Amino acid sequence: MAWQVWFAFFGAAWVISLSPGAGAIASMSTGLSHGLRRGYWNILGLQIGLLLQVVIVAAGVGALLASSALAFTVIKWFGVAYLVYLGVRQWRAAPTEVSAETDTRRHSATALVARGFLVNASNPKAVVFMLAVLPQFLDPAAPLVPQYAIIAATMIAVDVMVMTGYTGLAARVLRMMRSPKQQRVTGRVFSGLFFAAAAFLSLVRRGATA
């Protein structure tokens, strides 16, 4: 991959990662509930899901997903249901005592990784989007595997930095919240964001994303 092509993709990766979406909401929600340190487990899960999306596109399965209404619909509604589930959990979350030990253990590291993974893996819109965008940065005359490896590494590195920023920002908000009422209101704001993301995903049509 030529340097000028990589720099163009590097810029595109920042735009993609900074765009508000379910991953950003999940990162901020985790930072709010668990702090930055444990928030990295959620970020790890998000990156595994992102890597899966790149592999799906590289393997050509993304083309099948883009052309199959049934496959797209099944994955889309699974993603909608999962975002609604996260919204309900956020809404019902009990306020916690904010202290230096507010690295809560309500979710294990494994659960946080799984949560982040499912948020990205259950988004067919992202796969179809990558299917439309990534080929523009590929040289079909050169070996594709190294190019996809560079693309995946670049996207993951950028996304880790962006999601760390989102998580850290929410963790700072957590340290400023002392009263149960403040925590409850903030939690319900994030709950509403999960519901909004679910509603947006439910309106996505296969033809509109291809």
Residue of higher predicted confidence among 184 and 172? 172
Give me the pLDDT at residue 46, please. Answer: 94
The pLDDT confidence band at residue 102, using thresholds 50, 70 and 90, is very low
Q: How far is CA 102 from CA 10, 33, 117, 150, 194, in A?
A: 35, 8, 24, 37, 23
Chain segment 22-63, per-residue pLDDT in tens: 888 888 888 887 888 889 999 999 999 999 988 888 887 656
pLDDT at 197 over 70: no
pLDDT value at residue 208 = 46
If you average pLDDT over residues 62-68, what whole number do you get?
61
Is a pLDDT exceeding 50 seen at residue 103?
no
Tell me, what's the pLDDT at 5? 82
Q: Which pLDDT band holds residue 207 (cuts at 50, 70, 90)?
A: low
Average pLDDT over residues 140-169: 89
Of 42-46, 99-103, 187-191, 195-199, which one has max mean pLDDT? 42-46
pLDDT at 134: 77
Average pLDDT over residues 79-98: 68
Average pLDDT of the residues in 137-163 = 88
Mean pLDDT for all residues in the chain: 77
Domain ranges of the chain: 22-209
Between 91 and 10, residue with greater pLDDT? 10
Averaged pLDDT, 93-122: 70
Least confident of 12-16, 83-87, 180-184: 180-184
How far is 25 from 159, CA to CA, in rounded Å? Answer: 13
Q: Which residue has the higher pLDDT, 167 or 33?
A: 167
Q: Rounded to whole angstroms, what are the CA distances from 147 to 12, 52, 60, 151?
A: 16, 16, 15, 6
- Give me the pLDDT at residue 179, please: 60
Positive or negative torsion for Cα 65, 71, 75, 81: positive
